[in-house]
A and B are shown apart, each in its own frame.
Chain A
Amino acid sequence: MSDMDEMDDGSGIVKKFMFLNRKAPHGTVYALEGLEVVLITAAFDQDVSMVFTDDGVFQLMKGIDSKGIEVKDFSKTYRALEGYDIEKLYVDQASLDARGLTEDDLIVDVTVLSVPEMANLMAEQDVVISF
């Protein structure tokens, strides 16, 4: 895809970008269109962290089958993130617990963080974009 080629804004600046996903897939478009921003940001060689909290953890469910609602299944894209050098995937332990989920239920390998760890990670970012 041409828009996934390396991009350069000319500044040489590398900032810490956090993409905070708090919404479930399909009920609204935010998860899908948020993922599109993440892929573009990686092409700018920025320091990208992708975080899943609250209902956002549902985006990573294994076994998603969206054929019946006639909507594209973009959950496979999370498995392709590594190919875009997006390797920092974080999930909030409390959000998993509150939904009866464990790491085994998720389609990708993630780092599970406690609330204080997540809070500190957020505080050290230059840019936080929430979807």
Chain B
Amino acid sequence: MLHIVNKSAAERSSLESCLRMATKGSAVLLIEDAVYAATNGNAAAAKIQAAAADLKIYALGPDLAARGMAGRVLDGVNVVDYGGFVDLVAEHSNCQSWL
């Protein structure tokens, strides 16, 4: 399953809710304001790094770049473009947007 999160972990609980429900081996894609969680020094970074042991974590590159965060991505987070986003949706049998 692909989980999509789009809100900053400092503003909403959606990242936390997602990580609670994501089963081992599933994928989490951070887009829009959620990408901040995948950057060095962010308060949510520890959650992402802990989750990366069981989940595949992705972040949308154009959203990182648009926020000046392209050079601060955590190790273990895979940066994808919109093509990669499409591939992730295609590769997983279902997806959930944590709005």
Counting CB contacts under 8 A, is A122 at the interface? yes
Q: Interface-forming stretch among A2-10, A80-88, A102-110, A112-120?
A: A112-120
The count of residues in chain B whose C-beta lies closer than 8 Å to any C-beta of chain A is 16
- Contacting residues, chain B, for A127 (C-beta < 8 A): 94
Counting CB contacts under 8 A, is B96 at the interface? yes
Report 14 cross-chain contacts, Cβ distance below 8 Å, ordered by A residue. A20-B96, A30-B99, A53-B17, A115-B20, A119-B21, A119-B22, A120-B23, A122-B96, A123-B23, A125-B94, A127-B94, A128-B94, A130-B98, A130-B99
Counting CB contacts under 8 A, is A47 at the interface? no
CA distance A27 to B17 in the complex (A): 20
- Contacting residues, chain A, for B97 (C-beta < 8 A): 130
- Tell me if A54 and B96 are in contact (CB < 8 A): no
